[in-house]
Amino acid sequence: MRKPTDLDEFDLAILDLLQKDNTVPQRKIGELINLSAPAVQRRIKRMQESGVIQANIAVIDPVTMGLPITIIVEVHIANERYDLINAIKRSFLEAPEVQQCYQVTGEADFVLVVVVASMSAYEALTRRLFYDNPNVTKFKSLVAMDRVKVGLSVPLARD
């Protein structure tokens, strides 16, 4: 994994452009930051290989896919045994409704971001992920009223 200090101004400029729109042609990126298209291509490839760029994906509005409800869920577990933690992580990874999953410190053990079509769909998900899992002691649901800011953009520090 590259350290942030290994990224120069050109790398940061490329990342800035790609985070806004990863379909910008490398030729256009080169024009915007004063590099050749092959130089841009080499830098992007290096950042992909080193793990700085993890994926090139389309961000889809869940509402347009019939998933208008976003719920943030705090999950509390009883036992932090390694095999039990891995089992619950697997169940979260395998659930397509779970967009994001974080193992956290504090009162809760996990925080999930979930999208569902309806509250009955969420109820079915809670049965599958929480009620049927003897290691889950409780969970707390926070239903989002508005998606004010959603994204995975990383702030790019420039000194």
What CATH code is carried by the domain that includes residue 30?
1.10.10
Residue 102's pLDDT is what? 98
Asked if 29 and 93 sit in the same domain, the reply is: no
- Per-residue pLDDT band at 4 (split at 50, 70, 90): low
Asked if 15 and 75 sit in the same domain, the reply is: no
How is residue 128 annotated by DSSP? I
Asked if 33 and 66 sit in the same domain, the reply is: no
Residue 61's pLDDT is what? 93
Rounded Cα–Cα distance for residues 33 and 35 (Å): 6
Mean pLDDT of 34-60: 94
Any domain includes 97:
yes
Any domain includes 54:
no
Task: Look at residue 12 and tell me whether its pLDDT is greater than 70.
Answer: yes
Any domain includes 111:
yes
What domain range is 95 assigned to? 62-143
Kind plus residue range of the DSSP H or E element containing 4:
none
Asked if 35 and 91 sit in the same domain, the reply is: no
Q: What is the CATH number of the domain that holds 139?
A: 3.30.70.920
Task: Look at residue 75 and tell me whether its pLDDT is greater than 80.
Answer: yes
Residue 1's pLDDT is what? 52
Any domain includes 57:
no
Asked if 78 and 30 sit in the same domain, the reply is: no
Rg over alpha carbons for the chain, rounded to the nearest Å, is 20
Rounded Cα–Cα distance for residues 159 and 157 (Å): 6
Any domain includes 150:
no
- Per-residue pLDDT band at 29 (split at 50, 70, 90): very high
φ and ψ at residue 114, rounded to 5 degrees: -125, 140
- Per-residue pLDDT band at 3 (split at 50, 70, 90): low
Asked if 84 and 133 sit in the same domain, the reply is: yes
- Per-residue pLDDT band at 84 (split at 50, 70, 90): very high
Task: Look at residue 106 and tell me whether its pLDDT is greater than 90.
Answer: yes
Number of domains in the chain: 2
Asked if 77 and 106 sit in the same domain, the reply is: yes
Residue 152's pLDDT is what? 87
Asked if 71 and 139 sit in the same domain, the reply is: yes
Rounded Cα–Cα distance for residues 56 and 19 (Å): 9
Asked if 84 and 125 sit in the same domain, the reply is: yes
Task: Look at residue 19 and tell me whether its pLDDT is greater than 60.
Answer: yes
Helix (H, G, I), strand (E, B) or coil at 110: strand
Any domain includes 98:
yes
Any domain includes 95:
yes
- Neighbouring C-beta atoms of residue 26, cutoff 10 Å: 18
Rounded Cα–Cα distance for residues 8 and 18 (Å): 15
Please state whether the predicted TM-score (pTM) of the whole model is above 0.75.
Answer: yes
Mean pLDDT of 115-122: 98
Task: Look at residue 131 and tell me whether its pLDDT is greater than 60.
Answer: yes
